[in-house]
Structure 1
Amino acid sequence: MKYGNLLIEKREYVLLKRYMNLSGYHKDHTLRKSVKTLLGELDSAQICDDADMPKDVIRFNSTSTIVSKNGWHKKFRLVLPTASDVKNDKISILTPMGAAVMGYAEGDTITWEFPSGEQQLTIEKVEQENLHINANMVL
C-alpha cells in the first residue's frame, strides 16, 4: 500500500461512515462482506484535510482505471449511491467494487471478494474531477 493505510478526506470519511452504517442490512452476502471489510479498514485509515489529500488517492468522484490479475480493465467514477449509473461507468461506494477501491492510491494492489470470487486488482490510474463530497449532503 503506497501510503501505509487508506487515506480518506475527513468530510468524506463522515459521509462514508454514515453510508456504511446504513447499508448494514443488505441481503446480498458479498456486499455485506465488502461493507464490513471497508468499515474495518476505516478503523486504521489516515483521515486528512482536503488540502492534504494526495491527487492519486481514490475518493468520491475520482475516476479510476483498474486492472485485474485476470486481465480485464475497467474505468469508472466512484460516486454516492444516488448518482450510481453503471451504464455510464458511475459506480456506487455501496458496491463491492466501490468499497474495494475507496482510499487506495495509484499503483496499489488490492485483493477483494466479489460475487464472482476473490479478485486481485491494481489501480492503474486515478484522476480527480474536483467535485468532492460535502459531509452535509443528504443521504
Structure 2
Amino acid sequence: MKYGSLILEKKEYVYLKRILNISGYAENHETQKCLARLLEELRTAQIVDDDEMPYDIIRFNSKVTITFDNGIKETVQVVIPTDRDINTKKISVLTPMGSALIGYSEDDIILWNFPNGIQKIHISKVEQEGSYNGIDITI
C-alpha cells in the first residue's frame, strides 16, 4: 500500500461510516463480509481535509482502472449508493468492488475476498471526476 493505510477525506469518511453502520444494509452474507472488512480498515485510515487529499486516492466519483490477475482490465467509477448505474459502470461504495477500492491509491495491489473468492487486483489508474466536497451527503 503506497501510503501505508487508507486515506479518506473527512466528509466522505463521515458519510461512509454512517451508511456502513446501518444494520442489515447488505442483501447477502458475502457483501456483508466485504463491508465488515472495509469498516475494519476504516479504523486505521488517515482522515484528511479535502485540500490535503493526494490526487491518486480513490474517493467518491473517482474513475478507476483495475487489472485482475488474469489480465482483464476494467474501468469503473466509485459513487455513493444513490448514484450507482451498472450500465455506465458506476458502482456503489457498498458493493464488494466499491468497498475494496475506496481509500486505496494508484499502483496499489489489493487482495480482497469477493463473493466468488479471493482476487488480486492492481489499481493501474485513478482519475478524479469531481468530488462531493461541499455538498451535503445525506442518506
- The TM-score range, normalised by the shorter chain, is over 0.9
Q: Deviations over 1:49-87 (max 9, x none)?
A: 000000000000000001111221110110011010011
Residue 32 of structure 1 deviates from its aligned partner by: 0.2
Distance change >3 Å, CA 85–CA 27, structure 1 → 2 = closer
Q: Distance in 2 between matches of 1:80 and 1:89?
A: 13
- Can you give the 5+ residue segments of structure 1 that lack an aligned partner in the other structure? none
Q: How does 1:51-130 map to 2 (within 5 A)?
A: 51-130=51-130
SS in 2 for 1:74: strand
TM-score if structure 2 supplies the norm length? 0.95
Q: Report the count of equivalent residues.
A: 139
Q: Which stretches of structure 1, 4 residues or more, deviate above 4 A after TM superposition?
A: none
* Counterpart AA for 2:26: H
Distance change >3 Å, CA 45–CA 23, structure 1 → 2 = same
1:12 corresponds in structure 2 to 12
1:2 corresponds in structure 2 to 2
Percent identity (aligned)? 50
Q: Which has the higher helix share?
A: 1
- CA RMSD after TM alignment: 1.3
- Can you give the 5+ residue segments of structure 2 that lack an aligned partner in the other structure? none
SS in 2 for 1:13: helix
Distance change >3 Å, CA 134–CA 81, structure 1 → 2 = farther
